[in-house]
Amino acid sequence: MEILSKDNIKRYIIPHLQVGSFGKSLEPEFMVEIVSAILYRLKTGVQWRFLPVKSFFSSKSLTWQGVYYHFREWIKDGSWTQVWINLLLEHRRDLDLSCVQLDGSHTPCKRGGAAVGYQGRKASKTSNTL
């Protein structure tokens, strides 16, 4: 059940996760296992309590509550944001932003668009001056 390889997790994610603010530091291999479980949960959408933790942890046993605890702490301290920003910065030359749809306004309408009453966004002809 590997979403990302352990090498990629060690290279791109682990350096940006903080561990000192909530207790003793974690061993790098244990952090990789925690991150693997978190990524599995985010990819599959499985509920936290049904996370198959025994398949992720080889040395230490951790419950789904422990995985969730680390996930929440990393969200609170901004670690996941830093991971995202650094991934984008490191791979920005590989990104093609010419076809980005940030708000879905250019998504094709599968059921007919204007034929079913969708008007889309029209430019307002009234002026907004006071």
> Does some domain include residue 127?
no
> Does some domain include residue 121?
no
Percentage of the chain lying above the pLDDT 90 cut:
39
pLDDT for 122 equals 53
> Does some domain include residue 24?
yes
Taking all residues of the chain, what is their mean pLDDT, rounded to a whole number?
A: 80
> Does some domain include residue 112?
no
> Does some domain include residue 115?
no
> Does some domain include residue 83?
yes
pLDDT for 130 equals 45
pLDDT for 99 equals 72
pLDDT for 3 equals 80
On whether the CB atoms of residues 16 and 75 are closer than 8 A, the answer is: no
Q: What are the helix and strand counts (H, E) for the chain?
A: 4, 0
On whether the CB atoms of residues 17 and 31 are closer than 8 A, the answer is: yes
Question: 76: which DSSP letter?
Answer: H
Closest CA to 86 of 13, 20, 3: 13
> Does some domain include residue 57?
yes
Q: pLDDT of 79-107, one tens digit each?
A: 999 999 999 898 888 888 777 766 666 66
State which of 24-33, 54-63, 67-76 shows the largest mean pLDDT.
67-76
> Does some domain include residue 66?
yes
Length, in residues, of the chain: 130
pLDDT for 2 equals 75
Q: Residues near 68 by Cβ (< 8 Å), separated by ≥ 6?
A: 48
Give the total number of structural domains in the chain.
1
pLDDT for 60 equals 72
Domain containing 60 equals 6-92
